[in-house]
Structure 1
Amino acid sequence: MLIPSHASWPFQDDWYVIDLVKEYTNVDFNITSVDTEGFSEKLNLTMASGELPDLIYLVGNAAVQQYGPQGAFINILDYIDQMPNFKAWYEENTQYALNFMSADGALYQFPEQGVDETNRRGWLYRADVFEELGLEAPTNKDEFYDVLVKLKEAYPNSYPLAFRSFAGALTQLNMIAPSWGTTFIDTGDNRFLGYDYDSGEWSFGPTSPEFKEMLEFYNKLYEEGLLLPNFLTIDTKGWQDVIANSDSFITIDYLSRIDFFNSSMRETDPDFTFAYMAPPAFGEKGVDKFAFSAKGVYGFVVSSQTKHLDEVLAYIDWMYSDEGRELLTWGRPDELYNEAADGTRTWKNFTAAADMKQNTGLETFGFYQLYNFDGELATFTEECRAATEEARNYDLAQQPILAYNEEEQEVVNTIGLNIQTFVNEQISKFMLGERSFDTWDAYVDEVNSLGLDKLKAIHESSYARVLAAQQG
């Protein structure tokens, strides 16, 4: 088995989870683990060698789309009747599984479900500062602006709104745009247009009137000193310092940041309270919703060369069983956790997810397919658990994850990349005031001239295969 090893909980060959799996399944592993930073290189070398391990755990679907149609991995659907637990899960979760399908209609990667909840993000704010100033959490654009102004008045040296991860991919716009009634999809799964489930149409958000309205707003905040001036370049450490030093009070990030900041800052400031803020509805067509962020594409692929196919399929099928999900979430009954009369479980020795992973190997790459996220929630404070549960109420539908055939992929790699690069550059200029909004119509024409219609067409053709597979 080849697996990535996360730097925050590096693989250990004496992990509890390895003994657990061996006890319940009689599987004995020969594991090659590679740090996530070097995993792609190792994977490419492994694929080039032609000597594949029985199982490879992959994060993302790029390698699946590249090597699966070449025959490197089995098509899971050809063996579904050998896996009763997986078959039952698949029949109940077919729409979710379609996110893992390849352009040739095959399913090469076993879909993970549950751990992706750890990626959930949302608006976060300093509730203690709001209380100090008598401020209410904003619910729309005007209230949001007014709150930033009042924060600036109270803390003149501050920049009330801060973002991180804007550099390069402008990542936070993925989260922000839907609340303005538009989309910005610039993520690693090669999607550039957004899908409207009501109209059944694909549209390109960054040329829409709503997108212009959004950029004008953030440019205004930038010009008035309400937005952190280096939001396009600040790294994670710099962003952490800004929040911790009370230089900024509102941001977007992973909900787990609530515990990250509160646990450390309350050692010196007991009142410090980083909290979840329900998403405001921005703009004329805005909604009080947030882009679906509890997502990820993870899971095993099985080598088509394996000499242990029946054993491999039996093992993975166990991971889709109720027993497998239970054990790979909590461990052996009552061993690592306490259970209250109402069924609520708490870890005996772990108060942070990282500690649980480091010490047991539970919830680490290669040791889950289905996961009960209550296992990680049990490491959260009540504040963070409540935030996670509340945030689920504001989810928009997950955007489709598309798989392109060779011809479509060529369009993505050429026209798509050119559009992506150009749009990111121009968005940055608009937000910083380096390009006038008077030139917006010219900008739209410039984007269209790069071949946007062809990019839209491949989204439509790719998604048509998803719909056909769903109906089938």
Structure 2
Amino acid sequence: MKKKLLFILFSLMISFLAACQNDGNEGDETASADVETTDSSENVNDTGFPIVEEPIELEFFTGKYEPNLDNYEETLVFETYAEETNVNVTFEEVPFASLTERRNLSLAGGDYPDVFYSARIPTADLFSYGQQGVFIPLNDLIEEYAPNIQAFFDKHPDARKGLTMPDGNIYSIPSYYDPSFLPMLIGKPLWINEDWLNELGIEEPTTTDELYEFLTAVKETDLNGNGENDEIPLSATSTGAIRDMVKGAWGLGTRGVNHPYIDIDPETNDLRFLQTDPMYKEMLEYINKLYVEGLIDSDIYTMDDADLNAKGAQGILGANISPNPITVMNQDNFIGLGALEGPHGDNLYSQVKAPLAHVGAFAITDANEHPEATIRWIDYFFGEEGSTFQFMGIEGETYDVAEDGELVFKEEITNNPDGLTMDEALTPYVTWMGGSYPGYVQHKYFKGSESLPSAVETGEKVEPNVPEEIWNRFTYTEEELSFKQSIGSDIETFVNEQEALFISGDKPFSEWDSFVDQVNQMGLEEYLEVEAAAYERYQES
């Protein structure tokens, strides 16, 4: 009996304690609910600085150009901006080389930052994760808190068009280049060592055959006079960069570079899948010839920007594909090439981006508790004052204003006393080098590689051969996305793998027909149907 009474008393005590604990939890839940329902806009000022009265903390997942310094928050622009705005951003920097993998892991794992910044989010992921609620719609936020972005959309309606998903929502802020700023749309031209051209007595190449002759001469001549055979005829960060630079010589890429697998066939005016076209085979045979004859850098499959720039700084490159050898290699003896004429008379310069260069440059996630302040944070960089600040830094500290009103970087940046390249000298101040940043680029306040006289001259050479129409990226319905992310992705992965094998010589071109048959069997017909439907909507929007 005593044991039974003790058991009853013990049970009553446990029940009482549990009830007390539940009362406390309910109180906590109520308090938590009160916090969650607090309007984050109450802390936000409508205009001016600071953006918020009480400081807030934000975490950005950030794509990083490898040569830039770590800790973006310590650079002049972002440190100053944090002080002015009360918005303290911590940048988790991910090198561009591993960006796609790390971004996909973050999205798949559910551990989201407040913002994906300079993270090159593809349109398909913007829509897919927008539908899931991971990326929040920005339409209303832009209308209420982002007057600069609104004005930008009014001036460039193609940007709004390219950002609007099939559900009518905008999930990102872009990287956008002024359409009149052609050197910016080119990005990375093919540069030729003019001193070596003169020494060899060779004219500036205007055809693919002339380029081959120059590269061969570089390989066979001790042009830097050091008694070693260390000259590299052509270097770039990938064979894909070389492919995109020369494919217009075979009439490929008639709508620019934003769609690497399709364009319009000028003979039929129909959509064309590039990687199985006979002209694509001829182009790959040309690149394969360069590769097997040692005219392409042997490190091409492991190169990154830092590696390329370091080689260029040694003065051993005959040709390279880069933003500008002056700013990234301290080499002022290169000239940019125009369009190269191919074996069938084609001379299209298809290595041109659409002005809407990166759709997914800035996206706010549902983990962000301060979306109003965040959209105000990025809106500043789309106005005149903020754009100048983003790209030039602070007047008197990093740049001056000349008598004619032109903005000019300080000489310690353009002619660094320690021998740093211009990009290297800029790293303590700004982070836009390497691209992919959210922003609005105009020539008057962007003084990077693309603004130098050599780049402007290259743009003038290129202009007559630029495609008449440059496509933005298409948007896709959920059903189309499902195909693109399964069978479509398999096709694209397969053709990329096979392309590398053809270029390296590990797969003979005698197997080309078998390769084409396999692509067809994988579902190429349906792939083109999906692209055709997206293209039709693109034309109608």
With the length of structure 2 as denominator, give the TM-score of the two structures. Answer: 0.69
**Map of 1:143 onto structure 2:** 210
Q: Is 1:286 aligned with 2:349?
A: no
**Map of 1:344 onto structure 2:** 406
Among 259, 270, 282, the alignment partner of 1:201 is 270
Alpha-carbon contact 2:63-2:119 (below 8 Å) kept: no
Q: How does 1:395-406 map to 2 (within 5 A)?
A: 395-396=466-467, 397-406=469-478
Among 212, 233, 238, the alignment partner of 2:301 is 233
Largest Rg, 1 or 2: 2
Alpha-carbon contact 1:184-1:193 (below 8 Å) kept: no
CA 1:391–1:9: 2 relative to 1, 3 Å: farther
Higher RCO by CA contacts (8 Å cutoff, separation 6 or greater): 1
CA 1:293–1:9: 2 relative to 1, 3 Å: farther
Alpha-carbon contact 1:100-1:401 (below 8 Å) kept: no
**Map of 1:27 onto structure 2:** 85
Cα displacement (A) at 1:408: 2.3
d(CA) in 2 for partners of 1:211, 1:353: 35
Cα displacement (A) at 1:28: 1.0
What code does the residue aligned with 1:104 have? D
With the length of structure 1 as denominator, give the TM-score of the two structures. Answer: 0.78
What code does the residue aligned with 1:180 have? W
What SS does structure 1 have at the residue aligned with 2:362? strand
Cα displacement (A) at 1:210: 1.5
d(CA) in 2 for partners of 1:420, 1:368: 27
Alpha-carbon contact 1:159-1:228 (below 8 Å) kept: no
What code does the residue aligned with 1:343 have? G
**Map of 2:94 onto structure 1:** 36
Cα displacement (A) at 1:139: 1.2
Q: Is 1:180 aligned with 2:250?
A: yes
Q: What is the number of residues matched between the two proteins?
A: 453
Cα displacement (A) at 1:453: 0.9
Among 81, 84, 88, the alignment partner of 2:147 is 84
Q: How does 1:40-439 map to 2 (within 5 A)?
A: 41=102, 53=114, 55-62=115-122, 63-82=125-144, 83-114=146-177, 117=184, 120-152=187-219, 154=221, 161-166=233-238, 170-183=240-253, 192-195=261-264, 201-222=270-291, 225=293, 227-228=295-296, 230=298, 233-236=301-304, 249-251=318-320, 253-263=321-331, 273-293=333-353, 295-303=357-365, 308-348=370-410, 349-351=412-414, 352-359=422-429, 369-372=439-442, 375-377=445-447, 384-386=454-456, 389-390=459-460, 393=463, 395-396=466-467, 397-439=469-511
d(CA) in 2 for partners of 1:364, 1:182: 26
**Identity between Structure 1 and Structure 2 (%):** 22
d(CA) in 1 for partners of 2:514, 2:75: 59
d(CA) in 2 for partners of 1:433, 1:163: 18
What code does the residue aligned with 1:61 have? I
Cα displacement (A) at 1:93: 1.6
Among 501, 518, 524, the alignment partner of 1:452 is 524
d(CA) in 2 for partners of 1:439, 1:118: 36
d(CA) in 1 for partners of 2:538, 2:253: 21
Per-residue CA deviations over 1:333-358 (Å, capped at 9, x if unaligned) read 55532222222222224232343342
What code does the residue aligned with 2:152 have? W
CA 1:364–1:14: 2 relative to 1, 3 Å: farther
Cα displacement (A) at 1:131: 0.2
CA 1:200–1:12: 2 relative to 1, 3 Å: same
What code does the residue aligned with 2:204 have? A
CA 1:243–1:416: 2 relative to 1, 3 Å: same
Alpha-carbon contact 1:281-1:289 (below 8 Å) kept: no
Per-residue CA deviations over 1:151-184 (Å, capped at 9, x if unaligned) read 45545957874344446xx443233212321149
Cα displacement (A) at 1:433: 4.7
CA 1:303–1:149: 2 relative to 1, 3 Å: closer
Cα displacement (A) at 1:50: 7.6
Alpha-carbon contact 2:118-2:438 (below 8 Å) kept: no
CA 1:100–1:254: 2 relative to 1, 3 Å: farther
Cα displacement (A) at 1:127: 0.9
**Map of 1:2 onto structure 2:** 59
In structure 2, runs of 5+ residues without a counterpart are 1-57, 224-228, 415-421
